[in-house]
């Protein structure tokens, strides 16, 4: 089964071009992140993978786990998203490994405490995940978890 993935990479450059509509029309579910060649996956609580969701609109960039990190989109350079200062809302997770993972993603990858950030991305179709050599986060277009019985 093929999956469509959003891979975001931290990179700093500025060019103007319209974004791929798939970027704005899709809810993205975090599969894993790679920071300094170390790959981390969202924690599993009680045998159930936890969903970390990224939503991108023409004006907003929002990452949801327990807390929500949201910001305004400043510009859409070619294959990139430039964002403003983040606002954090919501409560900490009851399950501590979720708080730890969220802190790594928000602080070390998204760098939410910096005044502005530029994230580059690629949308690719793959048959199976491949290792990444750069700092990156991989999002699936399908839900990691379903509660169907």
Q: CB–CB of 42/102 below 8 Å?
A: no
Q: How far apart are CA 119 and CA 13, in angstroms?
A: 9
Tell me how many domains the chain contains: 1
Residues 139, 144, 147: CA angle, nearest 5 degrees = 155
Model pTM above 0.85 = no
Whether 149 maps to a domain, the answer reads: no
pLDDT above 80: residue 114? yes
- Across the chain, mean pLDDT equals 75
DSSP state of 111: -
Q: CB–CB of 77/17 below 8 Å?
A: yes
Q: Domain span at residue 60?
A: 3-140
The domain spanning residue 124 has which CATH number?
2.40.128.270
Whether 145 maps to a domain, the answer reads: no
Q: What local confidence, expressed as pLDDT, does residue 140 receive? A: 57
């Amino acid at each position: 089964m093929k999956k469509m993935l959003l891979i975001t990479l931290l990179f700093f450059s500025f060019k103007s071009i319209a974004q791929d509509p798939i970027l704005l029309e899709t809810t993205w579910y975090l599969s894993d992140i790679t920071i300094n060649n170390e790959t981390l996956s969202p924690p599993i609580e009680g045998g159930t993978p936890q969903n970390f969701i990224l939503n991108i609109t023409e004006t907003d960039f929002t990452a949801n786990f327990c807390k929500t990190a949201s910001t305004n989109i400043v510009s859409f350079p070619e294959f990139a998203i430039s964002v403003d200062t983040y606002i954090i809302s919501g409560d900490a997770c009851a399950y501590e490994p979720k708080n730890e993972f969220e802190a790594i993603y928000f602080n070390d990858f998204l760098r939410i405490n910096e005044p502005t950030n530029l994230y580059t991305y690629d949308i690719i179709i793959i048959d199976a995940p491949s290792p990444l050599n750069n700092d990156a986060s991989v999002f699936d277009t399908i839900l990691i978890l379903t509660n169907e019985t």
